[in-house]
Every structure is written in structure tokens, then in C-alpha cells.
Amino acid sequence: MKETIRARGHEHVSAEHASTFEVTSDDWLTPAGDCILAIEADRTPADFDDEFVEACQSHDATITVTVSVDTGERTFEQSVRGRGHPDLTFDGDRSIVFRTSDYVDDRTGMVGAEHAADGFDDKLVSALAVGAPATVTIDVE
């Protein structure tokens, strides 16, 4: 079962955060947002299908987030695996956060992620930093 978000990079994407990565529907980003990979997301967790949410609400759920960035000349893609959690609500109406920890709030889309923003490939991050479009696919098994 999958949910897809379309967004775009921004000049302030640095991907330096060590415990989370995030996609936001905001249309701006400050240099302090070092976990944010993309802005202007066309969907937020509150938009996700109820069946998808239910599938993610299990410690046994495996969640894979794939970030694909298309520069027009080249596509960069990287996947991060983590897991679900019974407390995931997907009620956030502004952004989704993927966490290496077990912390859960209304924006959390995955816990126990293999890595955070600082684990993304430099070329993918550079493409986001020039504003390239991004597709974020969240797959739950």
C-alpha cells in the first residue's frame, strides 16, 4: 500500500539533521530547517487513506520511504526503511517527519528509520538545493 507526495527542493536544503528528515507543505525554508528535504508538498499526512494509516499502526509494519529527485537531466533516488508504530495518527496537516527514534507525534510517518537527512546522497541533496522536483513515495508492508 502506497502514498505519494510531490514537492520541490529549495536553496536552503542542507540535509544535515542527524535524527529526522521531513517534507513540508510550507512554501519557504530557512537555513535552520536542516531536516527538511522538500517544500510545497501537494499532500500531508492528514490526506492519507485510512487503510494506509491503519497498516502503518503496527510495530510489525515495514515502511519504506523513497525520495526521487528529477533534475531533467538525471534522476536521483534513495530509499530509507523503518517501521510503523501503534501511535501513528497521520493527523499532521502541514508536514510529515520520518524519525530514527521511536518518538511519535501527529506529523510522524515512520519510526526507527535507517538514517536521517544527513544520510542522503550528496548528489540527491544538491539537486534538491537547486529546487528540483521531488517525489516521495511511502510504502507500507
pLDDT > 70 in the chain, percent: 100
Quickly name the fold that domain 2-140 has. Answer: Jelly Rolls (2.60.120)
3-state secondary structure of 122: helix
Q: pLDDT tens, 117-135?
A: 999 999 999 999 999 999 9
Q: What angle do CA 36, 54, 84 make, to 5 degrees?
A: 50
Domain boundaries, the chain: 2-140
What does the alpha-carbon distance between residue 66 and residue 47 come to, in Å, rounded to a whole number? 18
pTM of the model: 0.96
DSSP β-bridge partners for residue 20: 99
